Structure 1
Amino acid sequence: MTDQTFPRRAATPDRRPGKRERLVAAAVQTVHEQGVEATTLADIAKAADVPVGGVYYYFKTKDDVVAAVIDAHSQQIRTTLGQIESRHSSPKSRLKALVAAFVAQGEAVARFGCPLGSLCSELDKRPGEPSLAAELMRLPIEWAERQFHALGRPDAHDLAVDLLAAYEGSALLANTLHDSDLLTRAAARIGDWIDAL
């Protein structure tokens, strides 16, 4: 797994990812490690092992890169949530699997921050229209809300927000203190909280 909250889909062994796929994967990683503002198209080209001119064929501006990064995260969130749905039959086990997926990147989160939270926070500071990145937070919240509804909870939305807030707060502390064990301990507490519902 790479530096993402959700594991990236592996390329099939008989096919190398295409140039655009490599550029998007490199953009996701570089933006996570350096932030949007510090990342250049040259950085992405280098990480993808693509000539700089090749980047401009797919991405004309940094906004195009940001849109591709958001889309890649969004697709991966949907894929991961779909996998959780297919592998776990009860709402509680699904919620705990979501927490496990978040925490699986503990070392990268401790070093660079939560890929989703960091991106949303950085993009929210940019002038202009409301951030498209907010969808990245809505996806897991809405999914968790459905799980809490399945548990018969009338406060499902609030519980879903609390769940994501607990993770994001722990991710921020783990990054600030460079301590991935904070995420592990937070996941255990969140798991106990889910069990107690």
Structure 2
Amino acid sequence: MAEKAAQKTAKRGGGKRERLAAAAVRVLHEQGVEKTTLADIAKVADVPVGNVYYYFKTKDDLVAAAIGEHDRQLTELIAALEQLPTPQDRLKALVQGWADQRDTAARFGCPFGTLSSELDKRDDGDAGLDRTAATVMTRLLGWIEEQFRELAPEQDPRGNAVALLSAYQGMSLLTNTFRDPQLMLDQGSRLTAWIDSLT
């Protein structure tokens, strides 16, 4: 999801700020926060490194922009999923989207989950980037809960939402750990069957 969106932004030649934010999503996912430099992001965004400072004074500013880009991508994803007729269809499409990113997950893990986990371990003073990231994850969890509430209101919508999101994070971690894209595909099929069983 994140990688495809970053490529789209680069192809459509968005403004430099947008290109830098999209590049930050990609590079932070592939290299991690600590290993990534502003020069790395500038190179992927095809922006002279000196220009980066016009838009972002620090790497934390770019990390915050990457979180904002993830949030923007989530908004687009939810809008696309909302076009589907039933909550069952929407949840299954979400799972399919995760499974479609299995090769990326095998190499680097979940784009947002790995970023959130890494930010939680940082001592970033007052920046609070881990809490900012948590708000994006909270939005996704809330949307999934809404789908379960519409699908099977008597079957613990919140618990089912947490179970689904946890399953995705777990299968992303294992897919990455074992470098096995098939694992994500298999677990995605199990999640789809589970969603079907709730109706």
Is TM > 0.5 for Structure 1 vs Structure 2? Answer: yes
Which digits, 9 at most, give the CA deviation of each residue in 1:58-108, with x for residues without a partner?
Answer: 11011101110000001101110110101x111111100111122221111
Task: State the Cα distance separating 1:10 from its structure 2 match.
Answer: 3.3
CA distance in 2, matches of 1:39, 1:20: 18
**Which residue of 2 is the match for residue 161 of structure 1?**
162
**Which residue of 1 is the match for residue 118 of structure 2?**
122
Which digits, 9 at most, give the CA deviation of each residue in 1:27-56, with x for residues without a partner?
Answer: 111000000111100111111121110111
Amino acid at match of 2:8: A
CA distance in 1, matches of 2:52, 2:113: 26
CA distance in 2, matches of 1:94, 1:28: 25
What is the TM-score with the length of structure 2 in the denominator? 0.90
Query: Aligned pair in 2 of structure 1 residues 161, 170: CA closer, same or farther (>3 Å)?
Result: same
Contact 2:6 2:25 (C-alpha < 8 Å) held by counterparts? no
Query: Aligned pair in 2 of structure 1 residues 194, 90: CA closer, same or farther (>3 Å)?
Result: same
136-145 or 52-61, which deviates more: 136-145
| 5+ residue gaps, structure 1 | none
Query: Aligned pair in 2 of structure 1 residues 9, 3: CA closer, same or farther (>3 Å)?
Result: closer
Contact 2:33 2:115 (C-alpha < 8 Å) held by counterparts? yes
**Which residue of 2 is the match for residue 109 of structure 1?**
105
TM alignment of 1:22-33, pairs within 5 A: 22-33=19-30
Which ranges of 4 or more aligned residues in structure 1 deviate by more than 4 Å?
A: none
Alpha carbon RMSD of aligned pairs, Å?
1.9
What is the TM-score with the length of structure 1 in the denominator? 0.91
**Which residue of 1 is the match for residue 96 of structure 2?**
100
**Which residue of 1 is the match for residue 151 of structure 2?**
151
Q: What SS class does the counterpart of residue 131 from structure 1 fall into?
A: helix
Which digits, 9 at most, give the CA deviation of each residue in 1:95-125, with x for residues without a partner?
Answer: 0011112222111110011001100100011
Query: Aligned pair in 2 of structure 1 residues 12, 107: CA closer, same or farther (>3 Å)?
Result: closer
Structure 2 residue 66 is the aligned partner of structure 1 residue 65: no
| 5+ residue gaps, structure 2 | none
